[in-house]
Amino acid sequence: MEISMPPPQIYVEKTLAIIKPDIIDKEEEIQDIILRSGFTIVQRRKLRLSPEHCSNFYVEQYGKMFFPNLTAYMSSGPLVAVILARHKAIAYWKELLGPSNSLLAKETHPDSLRAIYGTDDLRNALHGSNDFAAAEREIRFMFPEVIVEPIPVGQAAKDYLNLYVTPTLLEGLTALYLAS
């Protein structure tokens, strides 16, 4: 008797990473670490946020003592927003970042990105989404045109390919054949 198992489905999760203004000159170095850690860079955008945009992005922090300093810091220069993807992207990125307080990170997680690049609790070098809902909201904030839904697998992927990709390929390959 043969037991048929369905093929495994790999869920690709996305998260938002931000290279903050004070370490923008280390972008290439950090991007190399990101890629060597198994992430795919889905999209990258260099931008400068106004204090108002920073307030909207960090709305959950509103009312906390450090909020004015945070918005001033994040609007002090250009930053790089990056959509990262991989299996369990949020958890792996948070692990790579280390504790949000860079001083604590230097003591407890000396190889983490915040220990290496951060200087204190506020200037912690990099941002990472806390959870799936935050990642969705933050990606939509930084990349309003991006579709956040998971990459289709199984029948949904086959349907998409049959509906959109196959006809386009067929038309293009036919035209290429007729032109030769």
Average pLDDT score over residue span 76-96? 96
The answer, yes or no, to whether residue 27 has pLDDT greater than 70, is: yes
- Predicted confidence at residue 3, as pLDDT, reads 59
Which one is catalytic: 53, 87, 109, 127? Answer: 127
- Predicted confidence at residue 17, as pLDDT, reads 98
Active site residue 109: no
DSSP codes, the chain: -PPPPPPP-PPPEEEEEEE-GGGGGGHHHHHHHHHHTT-EEEEEEEE---HHHHHHHTGGGTTSTTHHHHHHHHTSS-EEEEEEEETTHHHHHHHHH--SSHHHHHHH-TTSHHHHH--SSS--SEEE-SSHHHHHHHHHHH-TT---SPPP-HHHHHHHIIIIIHHHHHHHHHHHHHH-
CA–CA gap between residue 100 and residue 107 (Å, rounded): 12
122-176 pLDDT per residue, tens? 899 999 999 999 999 999 999 988 765 555 667 777 777 787 778 888 888 898 8
Q: Which residue has the higher pLDDT, 12 or 47?
A: 47
- Predicted confidence at residue 164, as pLDDT, reads 76
Burial class (CB in 10 A: 0-12, 13-18, 19+), 2: exposed
Do 57 and 138 meet the contact criterion of CB atoms below 8 Å apart? yes
Query: Virtual CA dihedral for 54, 56, 58, 63, nearest 10 degrees?
Result: 110
pTM reported for the whole predicted model: 0.76
pLDDT band at 6 (very low <50, low <70, confident <90, very high): low
Place of tokens 């941002």: 127
The answer, yes or no, to whether residue 102 has pLDDT greater than 80, is: yes
Residue 136, C-beta contacts closer than 8 angstroms, at least 6 positions apart: 148
Average pLDDT score over residue span 107-115? 96
